[in-house]
């Protein structure tokens, strides 16, 4: 049985409309007009235990709204959602025991309490046994580098410190399912790295199911073998990250460090030079036409190579193409 199952899930918001100016405001007060905004438009998917799924899409695509329905914060306008067999909205109390949610844009912790007090409180609310709590506290303090922060009130924390604190508080009751809505937004590289490692460890050690929305494709590359792409409230892709890379990453790059300086060179077929220095050569090739080994052997026949490396297709470029409609064009053909 899947841990999360959504069937034709939809959310339509009714937003009050008003004409501009004071007159408009007064009119709206007495005779409000509404317009419907379809944020999520019939989304279906299943997520199994232990999966880590990246949920991506442009601003306003419907990611957060979906997450809010999965967590029970919002009631769907249509369709159905089941998390661990429950309706997350109707069965909110039981659901809360099994899930953890982080919204990167805002904190859920008590602003004035020191982190340790917040954690103690959360552990009490979720009835985490004392011994287990102490073990987890030690672990989390280590992996999230929290030791120095435990006595600090949340209000005095930097963004990165707050997010680490938030993650600890969200996972201290060892939820089976964790929703992370932009957990690395605005954070520096080292903190991002630490957070990714932490999430990875939770998944590896406990089989935690993770749904992650992010605009940082580094998060996706590090954590999510599966991605779902939402566009205008509809799922336009649900499948492996690797398949997308293979399908859209037409070009790859291969770099050579040469033993001697480069002179004239015959460029292998279906490849082009994109950078050339005295002892370094970077080529780009069309992987539907040729292969890395063909390009490499052609170069090696011409010049002594000390080292070479192949770079993965650039995910951000691929995702940009998809956001711009590459998938739709492809399926339309």
Ligand X SMILES: Nc1ncnc2c1ncn2[C@@H]1O[C@H](COP(=O)(O)OP(=O)(O)OP(=O)(O)O)[C@@H](O)[C@H]1O
CB of 38 to ligand X, least distance (A): 8
DSSP 138: H
Total number of residues binding Mg ion (CB under 5 A)? 2
Instruction: Give whichever of 215 and 294 is closer to ligand X, judged by the CB atom.
Output: 215
Token readout for 29 is 């007060």
Instruction: Give whichever of 37 and 259 is closer to ligand X, judged by the CB atom.
Output: 37
Binding residues among 255-274 for ligand X as defined by CB under 6 A: none
Residue 36's CB is within 10 A of a number of other CB atoms, namely 10
Q: Is 66 in the site for Mg ion (CB under 5 A)?
A: no
CB of 107 to ligand X, least distance (A): 17
Q: Which stretch binds ligand X (CB under 6 A): 57-65, 75-83, 238-246, 325-333?
A: 57-65
Q: With contact defined as beta carbons under 8 Å apart, do 3 and 210 qualify?
A: no
**Alpha-carbon gap, residue 27 to 268, rounded angstroms:** 71
Q: Is 64 in the site for Mg ion (CB under 5 A)?
A: yes
Q: Of the candidates 45, 64, 143, 144, which one interacts with ligand X according to CB under 6 A?
A: 64
Q: Which stretch binds ligand X (CB under 6 A): 23-31, 52-60, 260-268, 269-277?
A: 52-60
Q: Is 60 in the site for ligand X (CB under 6 A)?
A: yes
- 170: Cβ contacts below 8 Å, ≥ 6 apart: 100, 101, 102, 108, 178
End-to-end Cα distance, the chain: 35
Q: Is 59 in the site for ligand X (CB under 6 A)?
A: yes
Q: With contact defined as beta carbons under 8 Å apart, do 265 and 274 qualify?
A: no
**Alpha-carbon gap, residue 296 to 300, rounded angstroms:** 6
Q: Which residue is nearest to Mg ion, using beta carbons?
A: 64
Helical residues (DSSP H) of 126-234, grouped into ranges: 130-143, 159-171, 189-206, 217-223
Q: Which stretch binds ligand X (CB under 6 A): 27-35, 60-68, 172-180, 270-278?
A: 60-68
Token readout for 302 is 């011409």
- 36: Cβ contacts below 8 Å, ≥ 6 apart: 12, 13, 14, 15
Binding residues among 5-34 for Mg ion as defined by CB under 5 A: none
Residue 34: which region, alpha, beta or left (left: phi > 0; alpha: psi -120 to 50)?
Answer: beta
Binding mask 9-38 for ligand X (x = CB under 6 A): ----x-x---------------------x-
Q: Of the candidates 54, 62, 160, 183, which one interacts with ligand X according to CB under 6 A?
A: 62
Q: Is 323 in the site for ligand X (CB under 6 A)?
A: no
Q: Is 57 in the site for ligand X (CB under 6 A)?
A: yes
Q: Is 54 in the site for ligand X (CB under 6 A)?
A: no
Q: Is 317 in the site for ligand X (CB under 6 A)?
A: no
CB of 13 to ligand X, least distance (A): 3
Q: Of the candidates 5, 9, 10, 39, which one interacts with ligand X according to CB under 6 A?
A: 39
- What does the longest C-alpha to C-alpha distance in the chain come to? 82
Token readout for 152 is 């600090």
Q: Of the candidates 9, 43, 65, 220, which one interacts with ligand X according to CB under 6 A?
A: 65
Residue 173's CB is within 10 A of a number of other CB atoms, namely 20
Chain residues in the site for Mg ion (CB under 5 A): 63-64
Rule CB under 6 A: which residues touch ligand X? 13, 15, 37, 39, 57, 59-65
């Amino acid at each position: 049985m899947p841990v999360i199952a959504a069937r034709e899930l939809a959310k339509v918001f009714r937003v009050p409309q008003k004409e501009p100016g004071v007159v408009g405001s007064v009119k709206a007060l007495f005779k409000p007009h509404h317009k419907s905004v379809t944020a999520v438009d019939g989304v279906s998917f299943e997520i199994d235990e232990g999966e880590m799924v990246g949920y991506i899409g442009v601003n306003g695509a419907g990611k957060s709204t979906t997450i809010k329905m999965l967590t029970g914060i919002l009631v769907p306008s249509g369709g159905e959602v089941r998390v661990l067999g429950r309706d997350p909205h109707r069965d909110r109390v039981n659901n809360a025991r099994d899930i953890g949610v982080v919204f990167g844009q805002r904190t859920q912790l008590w602003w004035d309490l020191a982190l340790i007090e917040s954690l103690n409180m959360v552990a009490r609310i979720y009835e985490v046994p004392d011994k287990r709590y102490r073990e987890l506290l030690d672990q989390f303090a280590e992996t999230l580098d929290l030791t120095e922060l435990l006595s600090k009130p949340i209000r005095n924390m930097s963004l990165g410190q707050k997010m680490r604190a938030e993650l600890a508080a969200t996972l201290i009751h060892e939820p089976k399912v964790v929703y992370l809505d932009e957990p690395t937004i605005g954070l520096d590289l080292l903190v991002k790295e630490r957070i990714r490692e932490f999430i990875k460890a939770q998944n590896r050690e406990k089989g935690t199911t993770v749904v992650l929305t992010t605009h940082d494709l580094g998060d996706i590359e590090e954590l999510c073998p599966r991605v779902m792409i939402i566009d205008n409230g509809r799922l336009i892709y649900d499948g492996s990250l690797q398949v997308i890379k293979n399908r859209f990453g037409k070009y790859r790059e291969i770099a050579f460090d040469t033993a001697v300086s480069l002179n004239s060179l015959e460029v292998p077929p279906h490849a082009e030079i994109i950078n050339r220095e005295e002892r370094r050569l970077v080529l780009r090739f069309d992987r539907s036409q040729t292969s890395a080994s063909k390009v490499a052997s052609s170069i090696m026949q011409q010049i002594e190579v000390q080292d070479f490396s192949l770079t993965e297709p650039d995910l951000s470029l691929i995702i940009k193409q998809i956001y711009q409609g590459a998938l739709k064009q492809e399926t339309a053909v």
